[in-house]
Structure 1
Amino acid sequence: MGAKVIEGRVTADAGQGVVVFLIGMRVNKFRSPRDWWPVARAMPRMLKELARDRSGGLISARVLLGGPRLVYVVQYWESQEKLLAYAAAPDKEHRPAWAEFNRRVREGRDGVGFWHETYVVPAGSYESIYVNMPAFGLGAASGVVPVGRRGERAADRLAS
């Protein structure tokens, strides 16, 4: 079955802008699970915590595989401030997981790699199109509108 297909051409409707946060881990040494298993377990806990508290600012998240060694999450946030507040909150899952990861790195454990990238996207500074697709990516996070409402061409949507 799967998600409902939205027929025709639509585009994301992130009217207020959005923050795109990419975060992931790479298993460098499969035979060192004590290095990578704690990292692999931490992200689902954080995502569950954020899903329970919608006021925290996470709009949407999707876990993706980048091959046998790489797992990453594409996240859409309401604002840079809410993302940074979550990362710094002493009573949330992120801080202890980050402290534990850094402790392991200082000990010289290199069985796992970690990365993240943050993009602050102002309103109108994005372009997207979805043709005969279920809600996906930014469109799933923000909702979609008919393409004509933001412009028929990619250049038009970027200029809106």
Structure 2
Amino acid sequence: MSAQPIAERITATAEGEVVVFLIGMRVNRWRAVRHWLPVMTAMPRMLKELSRDPDSGLLGYQLLSGGPRVYTAVQYWRSREELLAFAADPARQHRPAWAEFNRRVRRGAGKVGIWHETYTVPAGSYESIYSGMPPWGLGAAYGVEPVARRGERAAQRLRSGAA
């Protein structure tokens, strides 16, 4: 992903169904480092593993901070089947990290919180615009093109059936 902003108005080139996966953690007790640190360090390992494997289905991601306690990864996947396959594969980073988290939760209930949400968005039900931004979010995951190719207004881009 280029860190240089693109001056013109652009939109994501995504077409068809889009899968958005949000996952995050919240540190509930700072002193419980042994409970939240493994959770915090697991996500970068998973994202690194997925990024090295173009067949994994992960198209892109953004890491966000919601203040000093909350950390979120917004992920874009080619399909929900690929997302679920990664989550269930015992040879990948997720399964061992999930098992370890569950063991820690039993010993330290409430010291760290985790959450995730999965959205399968049908074609024509999403749109995007970026101005003075490097490719971001959906645009970083799928690529970008001038906004005029899909419509100058959000309503036009949504009607077009392609974001």
Q: Give the TM-score normalised by the residue count of structure 1.
A: 0.94
For 2:152, the equivalent position in structure 1 comes to 152
Matched residues in 2 for 1:22 and 1:128: separation? 18
Counterpart check, 1:74 vs 2:86: no
For 2:41, the equivalent position in structure 1 comes to 41
RMSD: 1.3
Secondary structure, in 3 states, of the residue corresponding to 1:95? helix
1:1-160 to 2 correspondences below 5 Å: 3-160=3-160
Give the count of matched residue pairs: 159
Gaps of 5+ in 1: none
Give identity over the alignment, percent.
65
Distance apart, 1:125 and its partner CA: 1.6
Matched residues in 1 for 2:57 and 2:67: separation? 29
Q: Give the TM-score normalised by the residue count of structure 2.
A: 0.92
Deviations 1:97-148 (A, max 9, x none): 1111112223343210001111112222211111121111111111112212
Matched residues in 2 for 1:106 and 1:31: separation? 17
Matched residues in 1 for 2:28 and 2:10: separation? 40
Matched residues in 2 for 1:5 and 1:65: separation? 21
Secondary structure, in 3 states, of the residue corresponding to 1:119? strand
Secondary structure, in 3 states, of the residue corresponding to 2:55? helix
Gaps of 5+ in 2: none
Contact 2:35–2:108 (Cα < 8 Å) also in 1: no
